[in-house]
Amino acid sequence: MTDDLRINGERLISDLRDLAEIGGTPDGGVNRPALSDADLAARDWFAQRATEAGLEVRRDGAGNISAVLPAADPAARSVLFGSHLDTVPFGGRYDGALGVVAALEVLRTVREAGLRLPVHLEAVSFTDEEGTWLSLFGSRAAAGELTAEELAQPRGMAAEFNRRLEAAGLTREGILAARRDPAAVKAWVEVHIEQGTRLEDSGTDIGVVTGIVGIASYWLTFVGRADHAGTTPMNRRLDALLGVAEFLRQARELIANRFPEGVMNCGIVEIAPGAFNIVPARARLALEFRHSDPHRFEAMREALLSLALHVVEIEGLGLEVEQVGVHPPVMLHRDVLTAIEAACDALGLSSTRLPSYAGHDTQAMAAIAPAGMFFVPSIGGASHSAREATSDEDCVNAGNVLLHAVLRLASQP
Amino acid sequence: MTDDLRINGERLISDLRDLAEIGGTPDGGVNRPALSDADLAARDWFAQRATEAGLEVRRDGAGNISAVLPAADPAARSVLFGSHLDTVPFGGRYDGALGVVAALEVLRTVREAGLRLPVHLEAVSFTDEEGTWLSLFGSRAAAGELTAEELAQPRGMAAEFNRRLEAAGLTREGILAARRDPAAVKAWVEVHIEQGTRLEDSGTDIGVVTGIVGIASYWLTFVGRADHAGTTPMNRRLDALLGVAEFLRQARELIANRFPEGVMNCGIVEIAPGAFNIVPARARLALEFRHSDPHRFEAMREALLSLALHVVEIEGLGLEVEQVGVHPPVMLHRDVLTAIEAACDALGLSSTRLPSYAGHDTQAMAAIAPAGMFFVPSIGGASHSAREATSDEDCVNAGNVLLHAVLRLASQP
């Protein structure tokens, strides 16, 4: 009966364009880091649009902001959906914004259609998904996973963090009290741009996310010996940087051969003492790797650390391993995946299942509710850049798939 | 007739011990950077010892200090020999110091023997051989190779440099006027610790230096593309650091196979943007290499730069090459080599010819006079460290070989 319902595509595209002007940069990008004046203005824009649409607006203690279409029964559970309004510094106009604008448009569409649902519908924008201050700040606060210790150690300067919290009207007590009652959340759905080219390459409309990759990060310090780079014969040296070079080369082959669905990056190298004429005594390498399958993720961890040990043994070096963070893969909920795929089928859109290689609010929400998410194509895969782009047609698809997935999840109380 | 003459070994060892207390550190090392208070105190100690021995003391505008045993004819040429009193920060007690103490001892021995020579003998300590402020500061000033431009850009802070020059009683005008008249210099000889293990490994007493290696240094910047380290498939990345890794691995093989007498070092890597989760867009590598043969040095330069180009082509990267410095090899003078070898023969000491892989004042002096140098063994090859050590016997050998090499070079006017 509701299979013919569609969102208002022009209204969604218009909203996206208006929103991109808040913090917009001359090159077409958006600079709207969490709790910046631009970010606060974007929240007010969202609240105003929701109010204009006859929706209820709620703000929680972590600065998460919701537009709500209540069910008749105040004790009903809620289906939540949305994303985030903040960007990385000098980011793009679709990352996060599309998910929030699509969620708002879904609520307007359902309200205008006069549908009576057995659950509350809530379109959410989470605070600081990009981690300007804290990784997945708002969604982890909603999931009850943010700690006072983390709040005491923001990524930026603590004094500036306090100023921005005050500007946003937030307190530490309020943030820690923002936890949602899991019993009251029926499901969570997020739509996001892919930030990659798998959909574009395969000509697929929708990517149904099976899980969020696990991410592990380590400092690997290869330890050799500082020597005079002139007088020490080559075969007498213990060059820490050569250990790094061998590790990088063999790790590349390891990932290609044994973990083709995983990814790895070494984004920082620090050498000590660090001079043209001194053999490197220490080379500190930032290692990060990701995999969506929990067993393969663990196998990858073991294989990479074993490789590092193998390399230092061959090269006569030492190795120091410092774990920075290990976040295991999050598998998303079958019921939500099924609802998204059924929506695609009903709309005649092609879909494929794939993991997400980036972190998203969905991984936090998965801790308290059946959670799922889907991607629409990113043109050229650009992300965290003014070059970020998604076609209007795909943005409208995002809204319609979200609409029908939500309606399926909202069909029972 | 003078073949039986020997230096006073006990006096030399005693001098070395006294000198090591000036700037001495608790671990047995010496911290006496050029123009530091300790360095100035060491010069005064040298001047006082020379005066006590009845020698004339001279200081030039660059702070080089000499003990002189004049010939009867004031217009005679000079045979110069010596080394330097400064150390690297927290260095050892033999690097430079042995050469100065041995030179002083040679003068005392010649004076006490009452020898009448047709040339002046001059034991020199050059300012800042280690390049705390400027590479081979004093010897290049004496050779007339130091420029006003270099003086304006010392390695340390310019304000501190000015304060230290003032403390040492030096002026820029004086430094630039310190050039020696090449016509007045008959020869230069230096004795130095090897700072390597070739003599120790082969059980040889004396290393006769054939030349000072050429040193070339470059910044090689491998240029890739910054990408999201999660969402960008491995085979779509242009990882600048992988270019560095391949270069390092292949360069090591290249040197081992084609340039076994050369050495190479990459002592610094700088990555941009430099984050765990961003694929390296730029990796800036400090490349330095050395060879004693001018033709092989040039071949090494071409081979290493070609290799870098080859690697970036295979990896799909770009390459930026910035030449930091190229100092071709300096061949030492046959007459001085012969005098050193004859001295070894007369003393019954074994000797071998070898290149110096480190820079020394001798390379500057080679520009204005027939120049040569020789090494005595370093225990374990340690250098620029408190672990620096040479046996008393080898220190005494240093003095006796220097004595007889100087006497041979001083036998004609």
Most B CBs within 10 A among A265, A300, A376, hence the mutation to make, goes to A265
Q: Which residues of B touch A266 (CB under 8 A)?
A: 241, 280
Using DSSP's 3-state secondary structure scheme, residue B168 falls into coil
* Cβ-based neighbours of A264, under 8 Å, separated by 6 or more: A251, A252, A255, A287, A288, A289, A290, A300, A304, B234
Alpha carbon distances (Å) from A405 to A126, B100, B146: 20, 86, 78
- What residues 234-273 of chain B have any CB closer than 8 A to a CB of chain A? 234-236, 239, 241-242, 244-246, 248-249, 252, 255-256, 263-269, 271, 273
The dihedral through the CA atoms of A359, A361, A366, A371 has a sign that is negative
* Domain A9-212+330-409: CATH superfamily, name plus number: Zn peptidases (3.40.630.10)
pLDDT digits (tens, 9 = 90+) for B249-278: 999 999 999 999 999 999 999 999 888 888
**Contact between chains at B269 and A266 (C-beta distance less than 8 A):** no
Indicate the pLDDT class of residue B327, thresholds 50, 70 and 90.
confident
Indicate the pLDDT class of residue B1, thresholds 50, 70 and 90.
low
> Residue range A88-104: average pLDDT?
96
> Residue range A268-285: average pLDDT?
93
Note the residue count of chain A.
Answer: 413
The top-level CATH class assigned to B9-212+329-409 is alpha beta
Nearest residue on chain B to A280, alpha-carbon basis: B267
**Contact between chains at A269 and B269 (C-beta distance less than 8 A):** yes
Residue tagged 């040039």 (tokens):
B298
The dihedral through the CA atoms of A394, A398, A404, A405 has a sign that is positive
The secondary structure element, H or E, covering residue A221 is: strand A214-223
**Domain ranges (residues) in chain B:** 9-212+329-409, 215-327
What number does CATH give the domain B215-327? 3.30.70.360
- What residues 284-303 of chain A have any CB closer than 8 A to a CB of chain B? 286, 288, 290
Task: Give how far B358 is from chain A: nearest CA, Å.
Answer: 5
State the count of interchain CB pairs (< 8 A) between A and B. Answer: 161
Nearest residue on chain A to B271, alpha-carbon basis: A268
Q: What is the pLDDT of residue A105?
A: 98
A383 interfaces chain B, CB cutoff of 8 Å: yes
- Contact criterion met (CB below 8 Å) for B126 and B138: yes
* Cβ-based neighbours of A174, under 8 Å, separated by 6 or more: A60, A61, A62
CA atoms of B120 and B133, how far apart (whole Å): 31
A371 beta partners? A188
A354 beta partners? A209
A196 interfaces chain B, CB cutoff of 8 Å: yes
Q: What is the pLDDT of residue A277?
A: 87
What number does CATH give the domain A214-327? 3.30.70.360
Nearest residue on chain A to B215, alpha-carbon basis: A230
CA torsion A383→A385→A387→A389, rounded to 10°? 40
Task: Give how far B233 is from chain A: nearest CA, Å.
Answer: 7
Q: Which residues of B touch A281 (CB under 8 A)?
A: none
Q: B390's torsion region: left (phi>0), alpha (psi -120 to 50) or beta?
A: beta
> Residue range A289-302: average pLDDT?
95
pLDDT digits (tens, 9 = 90+) for A146-197: 999 999 988 878 899 999 999 999 999 999 999 999 999 999 999 999 999 9
**Contact between chains at B245 and A244 (C-beta distance less than 8 A):** yes
Most A CBs within 10 A among B199, B258, B261, B265, hence the mutation to make, goes to B265
CA atoms of B204 and B193, how far apart (whole Å): 13
pLDDT digits (tens, 9 = 90+) for B186-228: 999 999 999 999 999 999 999 999 999 999 999 999 999 988 8
pLDDT digits (tens, 9 = 90+) for B85-113: 999 888 999 999 999 999 999 999 999 99
The three state secondary structure string of B204-264 is CCEEEEEEECEEEEEEEEEECCCCECCCCCHHHCCCHHHHHHHHHHHHHHHHHHHCCCCEE
